[in-house]
Amino acid sequence: MNKYRSLYNTTLSLISNLLLVMGCFILCRIVFLAENYNAFTELTGGRLWKMFGGGFMFDTSAILYTNLLYIFLMLLPLHYKEKGIYQKITKGIFVATNLIAIIANLVDTVYFQYTHRRTTASIVSEFKNEDNLGGIFGTELLNHWYLTVLVVLFAYALYKLYRKPPVAKIYNFPLYYLTHVLTLGIGIYLCIGGMRGGFTGMVRPITISNANQYVDRPIETGIVLNTPFSIYRTIGKTPFAVPEYFDREKLEALYTPVHLPADTVQFRPLNVVVFILESFGKENSGFLNEELDNGTYKGFTPFLDSLMAEGLTFKYSFSNGMKSIDGMPSVLSGIPMFIEPFFLTPASLNTISSVGGELKKKGYYTAFFHGADNGSMGFEAFARTVGYTNYFGRTEYNEANPGNKDFDGHWGIWDEKFFQFFADKLSTFQQPFATALFSLSSHHPFAVPTEYEGAFPKGNVAIRQCIGYTDHALKLFFDKVSKEPWFDNTLFVFTADHTNSPERPEYQTECGLFSVPVVFYQHGSNLKGYVKDAIAQQIDIMPTVLSHLGYDAPYISFGCDLLTTSPEDTYAVNYINGVYQFFKGDYLLQFDGKRATGVFAFKTDKLLEHNLLGQLSQQSAMEDELKAIIQQYMTRMNGDGLVVTK
């Protein structure tokens, strides 16, 4: 057996040493919890087990990031790595890099008491102008001397318990190199999966916001996360810099996201069901494009169009982002995407509310549905963060339908099947309830179930038949729920997360790329009428829903109430490639954060061909309002100001 030791000795040592670091990270989490125990409440054994289980995934990712160089050196298929001097160098790299990561964890054990969150890469910007950090750090070392002792003990453990591969003679060089090339390939695959937090294409690389799916309160993410991971995953993510456009008094006068109820409101406990329809851009709707093809355009969403005709819809309606992960915060929490997707920023650990979160205060049952693998796209974590108590994903679907063959082979459960599951579940919930569903079938590779091949118009781009399929699934959903006793007492909301595969020139502009439907429907209600020239956006959904219900408490949303705001005062905001866009009245203003770069009459100049910069009297007022929105946004993101505090 010793004859073949050279084929596996460095690999075994690598695994052993990475497990040593994992043990150190787990101990750091225990120390963190002990030091900050008073910051948390009701930490039962079951909840701690769940948090530590989630923490294992984040620790794995952080350890792999920290040890990338060490892993590469240990797996490098060169026989020189068997030399003693080579192994001394790799041991030095291992001890040094991991000790830095452990120190970061222990430092945050103290710093967490002031920030109530794990430190991110933005700490560099936060303290770049401070010249008293040395004194502060020294004082804290004295106050927490035991942590310094722990650093010494961890350093000693890393050095003494390090498993150094024994020097092994190579008897068969071809076999040696073949084995180590294969080992390197397997190691690369495992590292990528470990750093991402999963191996399937449906799993986005985990970020700090994913920690929310393991906790009941945002502050508890500090237990799940570790500091190296939080820093690594926010490097390069531009921190929200607060512009100083206005003083506080003028800022509040120009714009505030705080919504205050009128004194006369009376709350109505209607059920609320929100559909976020994957890629359902406005271009797919015949109802919203009556002028196309000389009035002959039919579109691909006949059922949704029929609801629009009976509900409240808006001619000029927009998304506030361009990705699925942008859609959920915008639709449910009134948070647009500025600079970086909200999910991917440190602000995702702020205290946040939502339609469900506010209604939960009124005793509502709340739940979120998405047919993909649980945890996919960070939806489960966000839903839990903002107040949706229960989450129903592919796991829950499979539990309710054992042995089913409803997986689409790529993303999750086919929309028709999952919508029926959603309908069945709604009828079991205690009323009033507030739920939301994010569809998935209208997604690349743009397939439909075999039995529906050729059943829906394909148009000129592949996604059209998928849009038709999901629209049909929506019809079947309504065929079922319209017979339920709770149906007439339910407000339905429909929008898209973003656009996809634009075909016509007007939908390929900076305006068209954000054009999605926004629809409110309640059977037998006064929510009817095609508001021809009003602007609407995803972030208006939360205030409009709460207004329709007569919600009587203050909350924060960056949108406006479409039921009480006059059409000339509604607006939309979004961000694309470093440029903020502001739609109001007849015009679109583009602004790079310092100056306006374009003004377009977007309603008539549909291809945005004529820049009216500097030619309109409205430009100055539009700039001021947009600046105020940006300043409020950045201030509240950095200051954890996304909920109303007493």
| 313 vs 531: CA distance, rounded Å | 6
The answer to the question of whether 569 is labelled as a binding residue is no
* Residue 560 in this model has a pLDDT that exceeds 70: yes
- pLDDT, tens digit, 9 for 90 and up, residues 122-167: 566 555 444 555 655 666 667 778 888 999 999 999 999 999 887 7
pLDDT for the residue numbered 129:
45
* Lowest-pLDDT choice from 266-275, 452-461, 580-589: 452-461
**Which pLDDT score, from 0 to 100, does residue 213 have?**
80
Give tens-digit pLDDT for 55-72.
Answer: 999 999 999 999 999 999
Say which residues have a Cβ less than 8 Å from residue 367's Cβ, sequence separation at least 6.
388, 389, 390, 391, 392, 425, 429, 433, 435
Q: What is the pLDDT of residue 100?
A: 95
In the predicted model, is pLDDT for residue 532 greater than 90?
Answer: no
Helix (H, G, I), strand (E, B) or coil at 522: coil
DSSP 349-386: GS----HHHHHHTTT-EEEEEESBSTTGGGHHHHHHHT
Is 497 marked as binding a ligand? yes
Residue 314 CB coordination number (10 Å): 25
pLDDT of 257 higher than 70: yes
Q: What is the DSSP string of 154-169?
A: HHHHHHHS--PPPP--
Global confidence as pTM: 0.80
pLDDT band of 180, cuts 50, 70, 90 = confident
- The pLDDT, as a whole number, for residue 101 is 95
Least confident range of 62-71, 186-195, 204-213: 204-213
Rounded-to-integer distance, Cα 381 and Cα 377, Å: 9
Ranges of each domain in the chain: 2-232, 248-257+267-638
pLDDT digits (tens, 9 = 90+) for 316-367: 999 999 888 899 999 999 999 998 888 878 888 888 999 999 999 999 999 9
| Residues noted as catalytic | 324
**pLDDT tens string 272-305:** 999 999 999 999 999 999 888 888 899 999 999 9
Helix (H, G, I), strand (E, B) or coil at 139: helix
Confidence band for 238, pLDDT divided at 50, 70 and 90? low
User: Which residues partner with 496 through β-bridges?
Assistant: 277
What percent of the chain lies above the pLDDT cut of 90? Answer: 62
Whether 570 contacts 560, CB under 8 Å: yes
Distance CA 539, CA 625 (A): 16
Report the distance separating Cα 280 and Cα 470, nearest Å.
9
Whether the Cβ atoms of residue 342 and residue 560 lie closer than 8 Å to each other: no
Check whether 443 is labelled as a binding-site residue: yes
Residue 202 pLDDT class (50, 70, 90 cuts): low
Q: Calculate the average pLDDT of the chain.
A: 89
Assign 317 to helix, strand or coil: strand
The verdict on whether residue 305 carries a ligand-binding annotation is no
Provide the pLDDT confidence category of residue 121 given band limits of 50, 70 and 90.
confident
pLDDT value, residue 587 = 96
Domain 248-257+267-638 has CATH 3.40.720.10: yes
Q: Which residue has the higher pLDDT, 343 or 192?
A: 192
Share of the chain above pLDDT 70, in %: 93
* Digit-coded pLDDT (tens) for 428-473: 999 999 999 999 999 888 899 999 999 999 888 889 999 999 999 9
Q: What is the mean pLDDT of residues 364-388?
A: 91
Mean pLDDT value of segment 89-94: 94
Lowest mean pLDDT among 251-255, 405-409, 487-491: 405-409
Q: pLDDT value at position 6?
A: 59
pLDDT at 17: 95
pLDDT band at 478 (very low <50, low <70, confident <90, very high): very high
Distance (Å, whole) CA 223 – CA 105: 11
518-521 and 490-496 strand pairing: antiparallel
As a whole number, mean pLDDT of residues 91-99 equals 96
The DSSP secondary-structure symbol of 597 reads: E
